[in-house]
């Protein structure tokens, strides 16, 4: 597995070794020992999967402390634009975002530590999005940031009015109106 540091400290892009032949392919999508040796000791407690159609945007979501979550995300079908936003209050990159393309073809994985809001936009006709979390979901600790926040400077591949977004996500506040991880 090759690990590339993101432009924002803490974010990592994981490239697995893929073995292909005339039958298809094989790769190890996760190995606890390798993860702990190369990245950090972590205890994943929940695996999630989401299926979505083209132009669906899910995000930007996070869990507040003490239930903040690290995530390891990947796409097993289709293609998405995956986006992480730094919401760590004392971070010099607070409010900055980083985007990566995750797809069934590139088999990349994106490690997003606690202290980031996360979301993704489906670019293919359909996508299956998979992710591990190091803490359980707690509805009372749920938070989010508006995908329309112009200060995030997201380079959307289509007009934001064309995104398919849940009613709940349409009501999220801009990041400038709150500091999610304040002391």
The answer to whether 131 is a known catalytic residue is yes
Pairwise CA distance, residues 59 & 57, whole Å: 6
The answer to whether 27 is a known catalytic residue is no
User: Which one of the listed residues 30, 61, 137, 138 is annotated catalytic?
Assistant: 61
User: Which one of the listed residues 62, 120, 131, 147 is annotated catalytic?
Assistant: 131
C-alpha to C-alpha distances, 101 to 31, 62, 74, 79, 157, nearest whole angstrom: 22, 20, 10, 7, 12
Burial of 116: CB neighbours in 10 Å, binned 0-12, 13-18, 19+ = buried
Question: Using DSSP, how many helices (H) and how many strands (E) does the chain show?
Answer: 2, 13
C-alpha to C-alpha distances, 94 to 6, 64, 85, 134, 152, nearest whole angstrom: 14, 15, 8, 22, 10
- In the block, tokens 């993101």 appear at 6
Q: Which residues are known to be catalytic? A: 61, 131
């Amino acid at each position: 597995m090759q690990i590339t540091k993101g432009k924002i400290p803490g974010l990592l892009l994981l490239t697995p070794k893929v073995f292909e032949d005339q039958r298809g392919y094989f790769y190890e999508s996760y190995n606890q020992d390798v993860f702990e040796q190369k990245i950090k000791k972590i205890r994943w407690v929940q695996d999630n999967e989401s299926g979505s159609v083209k132009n669906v945007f899910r995000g930007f979501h996070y869990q507040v402390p003490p239930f903040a979550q690290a995530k390891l995300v990947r796409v097993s079908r289709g293609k998405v634009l995956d986006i992480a936003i730094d919401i760590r209050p004392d971070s010099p990159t607070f409010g900055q975002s980083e985007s990566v393309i995750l797809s069934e073809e590139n088999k990349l994985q994106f490690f997003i530590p606690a202290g980031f809001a996360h979301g993704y936009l489906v670019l293919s006709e359909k996508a299956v999005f998979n992710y591990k979390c190091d803490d359980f979901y707690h509805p009372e600790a749920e938070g989010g940031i508006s995908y329309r926040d112009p200060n995030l400077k997201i380079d959307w591949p289509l007009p934001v009015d064309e995104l398919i977004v849940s009613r709940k996500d349409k009501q999220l506040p801009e990041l400038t109106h709150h500091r999610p991880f304040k002391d």
